[in-house]
Amino acid sequence: MQKIYLDNAATTQVREEVIAKMQQALGEFYGNPSSTHSFGRSAKTAVEKARKTIAKTLNAQPSEIIFTSGGTEADNMILRCAVRDSGVETIITSKVEHHAVLHTAEELQKEYGISLEFVDLDEHGNPKLDHLESLLKANDTKKLVSLMHVNNEIGNILDIEAIGDLCKEYGALFHSDTVQSIGHYALDVQSIHIDFLTAAAHKFHGPKGIGFAFIRKNSGLKPFIFGGSQERGFRAGTEPFHNIVGLEEAFVQAYENLEEEIQYVKGLKRHFIESVKKEIPEVMFNGLSGDLEHSTYTLTNVRLPFDKQKGLMLLFHLDLKGIACSKGSACQSGSNLGSHVLTEILSPEELEKPSLRFSFSKYNTKEELDYTVKVLKEFAES
């Protein structure tokens, strides 16, 4: 049986170069980066080198890069500290954000009594800029806007520059969860009016358990985890040196090969869309995920013309055939409530049809996609 992995939005295969770097770090450079002897200094040098590498690519300062355990911690850190330390009284977000943002904002509303506002969405799931502007100018409270760059379920791409300009105009802080775009798109934090962004290495062929936050200098945020002086005193705890080295290598490989891999993976997505349309003409694409220009090249979210009862067996059937994909975010796979993203943009009738997210990487092939479409067609005709 073939084994085909089409769930790259959940996590990605680790590059061989990354594994080699991490093995070297685990075997040779095992000193504590905070120790002053040669073993510690070697580890510390590598940590700071990784920080500088990331900062240079994003056009940030090294001191603005804080290593975290991943995107969820980074989102929590930024939202919580913005309310606690920067006087934020209103968080403006959308109902199609990752739960790392939504649940954190809801908890902050309970704990601090902040206002939580949701920007209206168009029929495709994009935030309406005119409504965002009205929320920004509604009152004089200190505001933070949190909107993700690339939606992890439907692939819509936010006009991050326009959002940044609006936030600057009205004096609001701007945070973007860029977990699905870092490593896949070039970002320049000097050309975008953005205060905070977050990333996770395992979304671009790096290890799990490591990510980073960009926190613009003089943001006013104070330590999130207390203890030692690691991460400029902002996040205490011994640095996971092997993971940081792996993150750096994955980051370097992603941006050195960016254009080549964009074209290859975009070709896979185009091929999949054309093939599934041909074989299952009634198929629909959720959000803008069927639009190659207005959604990320890394994923598509299809709505299939099956009834609810048949749809219940679809994911199980694909798994039996060796195909890995998902209904939506892996972070809510244990929930029986369905996708909160699709709930916001689809009608009750459309929600009755099964929807699946297929996400692609450099390790996939057109032959794998042909097999997947063949299995889908056979299921449709069964």
Average pLDDT, the chain: 94
pLDDT at 332 over 60: no
pLDDT higher than threshold 90 for residue 75: yes
pLDDT at 234: 85
Query: At 260, is the pLDDT very low, low, confident or very high (cuts 50, 70, 90)?
Result: very high
* Whether the predicted pLDDT of 11 surpasses 50: yes
pLDDT of residue 236: 83
Domains identified in the chain, total number: 2
What the block records as the tokens of 222 is 């104070």
CA distance 109 to 114: 5
Cβ-in-10-Å burial (0-12, 13-18, 19+) of 37 comes to exposed
- Whether residue 181 sits in one domain with residue 41: yes
Q: How far apart are CA 306 and CA 317, in angstroms?
A: 14
Residue 60: pLDDT band (50, 70, 90) is very high
Q: How far apart are the C-alpha atoms of 272 and 48, rounded to whole Å?
A: 41
Q: Which pLDDT belongs to residue 335?
A: 47
- Over residues 16-22, the mean pLDDT reads 97
Q: Which of 214, 239, 256 is the last residue of a domain?
A: 256
* Residues 265 and 363 placed together within one structural domain of the fold: yes
- Residues 218 and 284 placed together within one structural domain of the fold: no
Supply the DSSP symbol for 345. Answer: H
The verdict on 230 and 282 lying in the same domain is no
In terms of phi and psi (left: phi > 0; alpha: psi -120 to 50; beta: otherwise), the region of 301 is beta
Residues 205 and 336 grouped into a single domain: no
CA–CA distance, 239 with 220 (Å, rounded to integer): 23
What mean pLDDT comes out for the span 371-378? 96
pLDDT tops 80 at residue 268 = yes
Q: How many residues does the chain have?
A: 382
Whether residue 179 sits in one domain with residue 54: yes
User: For helices 241-256 and 16-28, what crossing angle results, to 10°?
Assistant: 150
Domain residues for the domain of 191 are 16-256
pLDDT score of 334:
45
Query: What's the pLDDT at 228?
Result: 86
51: domain CATH number? 3.40.640.10
Residue where one domain finishes, among candidates 256, 272, 291: 256
From 256, 281, 301, give the residue that closes a domain. Answer: 256
Do residue 48 and residue 132 come from a single domain?
yes
The pLDDT of residue 327 is 84
Q: Is the pLDDT of residue 328 over 90?
A: no
Q: What percent of the chain has pLDDT over 70?
A: 97
Res 223: pLDDT:
86
State the pLDDT confidence band at 331, using cuts at 50, 70 and 90. low
331 assigned to active site:
yes
Question: Which DSSP string corresponds to 291-326?
Answer: -TTTB-TTEEEEE-S--HHHHTTHHHHHHHTTEE-B
Q: Which residues contact 237 (CB under 8 A, 6 or more apart)?
A: 225, 227, 228, 230
The pLDDT value given to residue 48: 95
Is the predicted pLDDT of residue 324 greater than 90, yes or no? yes
* Same domain, residue pair 155 and 280: no
Asked whether the predicted pLDDT for residue 86 surpasses 90, the reply is: yes
Candidate list 81, 167, 325, 331, residue with the active-site label: 331
As a whole number, mean pLDDT of residues 265-271 equals: 98
**Amino acid in the structure at residue 116:** L
Encode pLDDT of 216-259 as tens digits: 999 989 988 888 888 888 888 989 999 999 999 999 999 999 99
Cβ–Cβ < 8 Å for 341, 151: yes
Residues 140 and 216 in one domain: yes
Residue 133 has pLDDT above 50, yes or no: yes
Query: 295 and 221 in one domain?
Result: no
The CATH code of the domain that includes 294 is 3.90.1150.10
Tell whether 285 and 367 lie within a shared domain: yes
Q: Are residues 57 and 161 in the same domain?
A: yes
Given the DSSP bridges, would you call strands 299-303 and 284-285 parallel, antiparallel or unpaired?
Answer: antiparallel
The number of angstroms, rounded, from the C-alpha of 145 to the middle of its chain's C-alpha atoms is 17
Give this prediction's pTM.
0.94
What are the DSSP calls for 21-35, one per residue? HHHHHHHH--S-TT-
